[in-house]
């Protein structure tokens, strides 16, 4: 009987993710996420009340997980497919998608500020402890060990932020920004997206205008 190394076969399996993502989602530099719905509640949570709507968690997770595999430099377009939505419901869906993902972006920004403050604190701690180690080289080992612990703790935290946590934070920031700028369109049946250069320029202009407006609003709030 011929031996079979099935684990080796699994380890050798390749997915060709980039080519599949390009084939399934990317057209002329724009990532289109198709989403077929048969009821308003598939998009807007049934726990919501009018005027205080929120997204259905499954719908929100579908958008996030799909957007996450697409290239970070590609703007997002959400194509909601179905003939079950009224014009009022479509307007509400656009507003809530924008508001919910803008809220998520705000949470990412707060977390990013907290990590930046921690980074600066650890940087100062590392500099101060390094100077103390240099100035106190004649002290006994016991006091210097405490300074060594502070020095290496600050250094370890900085390395973690620069190479691990910081990288994840930047990825989360980009994804949140893309989702907060997502363009929502509606269609009754699925059609292969085909974006002209004019469509691409218009989408980029809309995103740029939206970003500039949010920056201006932040400045007005801060002043």
pLDDT digits (tens, 9 = 90+) for 196-206: 999 999 999 99
Q: Is residue 201 part of a domain?
A: yes
Q: Is residue 65 part of a domain?
A: yes
Residue of 70, 86, 73, 93 whose CA lies nearest to 18:
70
Q: Is residue 209 part of a domain?
A: yes
Q: Is residue 12 part of a domain?
A: no
**Residue 36 φ then ψ, to 5°:** -90, 130
Residue of 177, 193, 210, 166 whose CA lies nearest to 28:
193
Q: Is residue 18 part of a domain?
A: no
Model pLDDT, residue 1: 44
Q: Is residue 17 part of a domain?
A: no
* The total number of structural domains that make up the chain: 1
* CA–CA distance, 188 with 182 (Å, rounded to integer): 20
Q: Is residue 10 part of a domain?
A: no
Q: Is residue 102 part of a domain?
A: yes
Q: Which domain holds residue 202?
A: 29-222
- State both tokens at 176: 């949140």
Length reported for the chain = 223
Task: Select the highest-mean-pLDDT range: 32-36, 130-134, 151-155, 190-194.
Answer: 32-36
* Number of C-beta neighbours around residue 44 at 10 A: 19
| Averaged pLDDT for residues 85-91 | 95
């Amino acid at each position: 009987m011929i031996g079979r190394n099935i684990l080796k076969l699994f380890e050798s399996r390749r997915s060709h993710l980039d080519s599949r993502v390009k084939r399934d989602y990317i057209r002329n530099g724009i990532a289109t996420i198709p989403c077929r719905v048969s009821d308003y509640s598939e998009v807007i949570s049934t726990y919501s009340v009018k005027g205080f709507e929120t997204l259905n968690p499954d719908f929100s997770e579908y958008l996030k997980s799909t957007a996450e595999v697409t290239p970070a430099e590609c703007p997002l377009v959400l194509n909601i497919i179905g003939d079950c939505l009224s014009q009022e419901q479509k307007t509400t869906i656009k507003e809530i998608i924008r508001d919910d993902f803008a809220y998520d972006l705000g949470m990412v920004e707060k977390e990013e500020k907290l990590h930046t403050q921690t980074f600066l604190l650890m940087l100062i701690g590392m500099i101060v402890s390094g100077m103390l180690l240099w100035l106190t080289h004649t002290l006994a080992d016991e006091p210097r060990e405490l300074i060594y612990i502070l020095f290496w703790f600050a250094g370890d935290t900085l390395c973690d932020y620069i190479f691990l946590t910081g990288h994840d934070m930047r990825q989360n920031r980009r994804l949140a920004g893309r989702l907060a700028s997502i363009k929502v369109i509606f269609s009754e049946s699925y059609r292969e997206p085909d974006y002209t250069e004019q469509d691409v320029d218009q989408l980029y202009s809309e995103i740029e205008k939206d970003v500039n407006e949010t920056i201006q609003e932040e400045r007005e709030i801060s002043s």
